Amino acid sequence: MNYSKEFEDVFEKVRNIICENFGASESDITPSTSLFDDLDADSLDLVDLISAIEYEFDIEANDDAIEKISTVEDVVNCVMDFTNED
């Protein structure tokens, strides 16, 4: 699938954060990676991940957006939505 340059840039940063938080290797993280099924994340892991992402991108995600997150692509799209609000 072809992604925009912005998506690719955000994905790189998100992937690095996910690798740090979950101890995963970069090659294991793709946009379709499921946070829950592939990385065995639970709700506390998601809170920690979102906190790290909010800090990295200087955004504040709302609960509605967070509830819709299940894949890495969802995380990237959420970041892009919140960074483009300015």
Q: Which domains does the chain have, with CATH numbers?
A: 5-83 (1.10.1200.10)
Q: Which of 9, 37, 38, 42 is catalytic?
A: 42
Q: What is the mean pLDDT of the chain?
A: 93
Tokens coding 23: 């101890």
For residue 69, which of 85, 83, 86, 53 has the smallest C-alpha distance?
Answer: 53
* Residue type for position 10: V
Q: Is the pLDDT of residue 86 over 60?
A: no
Tell me whether residue 63 is one of the annotated catalytic residues.
Answer: no
Query: For the whole model, what pTM was predicted?
Result: 0.91
pLDDT single digits (tens) 7-36: 999 999 999 999 999 999 999 999 999 999
